[in-house]
Chain A
Amino acid sequence: MSGGGSWLPDELRRVFRIGIAGGDADREVDQELEYHFERTVEDLQRGGMSESDARQEARRRFGDERQYRRELRRLARGRDRWSRLGEAAEAWSRATRDAVRGLARTPAQSLAVVAVLTLGVEANAAVFGILDTVFLRPPAHIQGADRVRRIFVTRTGYNGRTVTEQTHAYPDYMDWQPLDVFSEVAEYTELTLTVGHGDEAERRPAELTSANFFPLLGVRPELGRFYGPEDDRFGAPGTVVLGHAYWQERFAGDSAVLGRYLDIGDATYAIVGVAPPGFTGVDLERIDLWLPMHPAGEVEGGGTEWAESRGWYWFNGVARLAPRVTDVQAEAAATTAHRVGRSDNPNYDPEARVELGSLIAAKSAGASREAKVVPWLMGVALMVLLLACANVANLLLARAIRRRRETAVRLALGVSRKRLIGTALAESGLLALAGGLAAVLLVFWTGNLVRSFLLPGVAWGERVTT
């Protein structure tokens, strides 16, 4: 019934020219009717009636006063709102035009302000991109990431120190695999392998995974397929899945690449698929080759011993919690299974514990030094922004002081304060808008450059985090 945003104080409304909450309109109607009744009563009295009779007659002549008054108010308020909106729109456009003219008169200063704002905002945007990738978001292409966990083992080693490690032996994985608390457990390990021979040989980052690694994460191939359980056996013909970036660089994104062979290390593998862009498994570094653990492990590990030995701490584990299972429950079950599995070794810490960590590496025990630094980076970026704001405030203040005379003349000419404030706000607004837009553009182009500089390990190029 009353003007929009009636919770705003009247002063603010007047500055922004929003309709005063129905008050003015109501008051006008009341005044109009008051005049009418006064005149009616007066005239009737002059005609000989007593005052009380006159009042009565006036009311009778008017009709149902409450209803009419309500209707009149409704009409008045409706009209009011429209005219005020029109006024407001006109005032805004006038203020903007004035602002543009005003800023154009001092181009150097205006540009300076915009530049400072741009840098401040851009620094924050770039760093926030880092924060987002490293801390806030799970790695790309993982479905239901909130149910996926990294597996850590905390134990007191032979030297008496208690450590939390992300690596374990393959048989440990076999202990966890059949557990009900996990809907799936998978293994992976990272290596750098040589592709090709002689002059063409290059060292590429590779990841060996169990076949269920991809289904666990819920990732789908860009081309072809991922290797399956039948490929992940000792003696199976070697298969490889290419990382998306590597596929673009080395094979120019040619889809005929499927079925071709790659010489990796001492063996040959058939290319069966390409991973989607930005997929880097469970960590953030770029991976060019995905290989099934058993065949590749046999070649790179010099045999099949690693599959049975408890001494080869090669492997990282990732697990998806079964529905409705809590971390506490899963950790307990995994710990028990782990201890039972290791019970035949008297030297192994009987108090060893399995801990489940967040998929986001920076949040779990596996956090690298660089990752830990990121929140501080964010703090620094915020400081930069604050400094930028202080700078801008200074510049604008200097500007206002320089324009004292102009302002005095305008006031003397009768320009309302409201309009001057409106212009000032419009100027600041335009500067802020320009700075923001420029920052967005800048971050778009150079953001990844800045991030690669600050955190080189991460595959920034493929992640879309503007």
Chain B
Amino acid sequence: MKNGLLQGTLDVLVLKALAWGPRHGYAVAGWIRETTDEELSVEDGALYTALHRMEKRKWLESDWGLSENNRRAKYYRLTDTGRAQLRQQSRDWTTYAEAVFKVLRARESGPAAAEAKA
């Protein structure tokens, strides 16, 4: 586990960050930090690598634009494929997380518990 992040989850975080429209790399990093209340920290280098990799896979498109303070920044936005990926990976993640959650929240009960006591 790198920086408190399960491997492979960085991609879905970035995809989600771009769900509302194009953003540049700095904004993506900032959004992730804010939204998780700084619980998840990502090495910025890893973040940019993820952005470039996903662009290569055609999940993202990039364009150079002017940022809020009139400086040149590289903006990323989701492609149709990227949007489909986001949907899929969100579903998978949610299913996975709920399953783990169920196990961790379980109380002793049911036939397994009866056996243990006996």
- Interface bits A70-89 vs B (CB < 8 Å: 1, else 0): 01100110110000000000
B67 touches A35 (CB 8 A): yes
Q: Which residues of chain A in 34-87 are interfacial with respect to chain B, using CB atoms and an 8 Å cutoff?
A: 35-36, 38-40, 61-65, 67-69, 71-72, 75-76, 78-79
Among listed B70-78, B79-87, B91-99, interface-contacting one: B70-78
Query: Could you say which of A63, A68, A76 has the most chain B C-beta atoms within 10 Å of its C-beta?
Result: A63
| Measured CA separation A33–B44 after assembly (Å) | 10
B48 touches A68 (CB 8 A): yes
B29 CB contacts on chain A under 8 angstroms = 36
Contact A28:B74 (CB < 8 A) given known A35-B26, A62-B43:
yes
Grouping DSSP codes into helix (H, G, I), strand (E, B) and loop, the B interface class, with mixed when no group exceeds half, is: helix
B44 touches A62 (CB 8 A): yes
B53 touches A61 (CB 8 A): no
Grouping DSSP codes into helix (H, G, I), strand (E, B) and loop, the A interface class, with mixed when no group exceeds half, is: helix
A106 CB contacts on chain B under 8 angstroms = none
A68 touches B74 (CB 8 A): no
What is the size category of the interface that chain B forms with chain A?
A: 20 to 34
What is the size category of the interface that chain A forms with chain B?
A: 20 to 34
Beta-carbon nearest neighbor of A76 in chain B: B52
B52 touches A35 (CB 8 A): no
B23 CB to closest chain A CB (Å) equals: 12
A63 CB contact (under 8 Å) in B26, B46, B55: B46
Beta-carbon nearest neighbor of A33 in chain B: B48
A32 touches B48 (CB 8 A): yes
Residue A159 interfacial (CB < 8 Å) = no
A27 CB to closest chain B CB (Å) equals: 11
| Measured CA separation A397–B25 after assembly (Å) | 53
A61 touches B72 (CB 8 A): no
Residue B45 interfacial (CB < 8 Å) = yes
Residue A347 interfacial (CB < 8 Å) = no
B74 touches A31 (CB 8 A): yes
B44 CB contact (under 8 Å) in A28, A61, A67, A78: A61
B26 touches A39 (CB 8 A): yes
A420 CB to closest chain B CB (Å) equals: 27
A72 CB contact (under 8 Å) in B26, B49, B67, B71: B49
- Interface bits B23-49 vs A (CB < 8 Å: 1, else 0): 011100100000000000101111011
Q: Which residues of chain A in 75-123 are interfacial with respect to chain B, using CB atoms and an 8 Å cutoff?
A: 75-76, 78-79
B56 touches A79 (CB 8 A): yes
B58 CB to closest chain A CB (Å) equals: 10
B55 CB contacts on chain A under 8 angstroms = 79
A65 CB contacts on chain B under 8 angstroms = 45
- Interface bits A14-39 vs B (CB < 8 Å: 1, else 0): 00000000000000100111011011
Query: Across chains A and B, which 9 residue pairs bring their CB atoms closest together, nearest first?
Result: A68-B45, A63-B43, A63-B45, A62-B44, A75-B52, A32-B74, A39-B26, A35-B73, A36-B26
Can you sample 11 A-B contacts with CB below 8 Å?
A28-B74, A31-B72, A35-B24, A62-B43, A63-B43, A63-B45, A67-B45, A68-B45, A68-B48, A69-B45, A79-B55
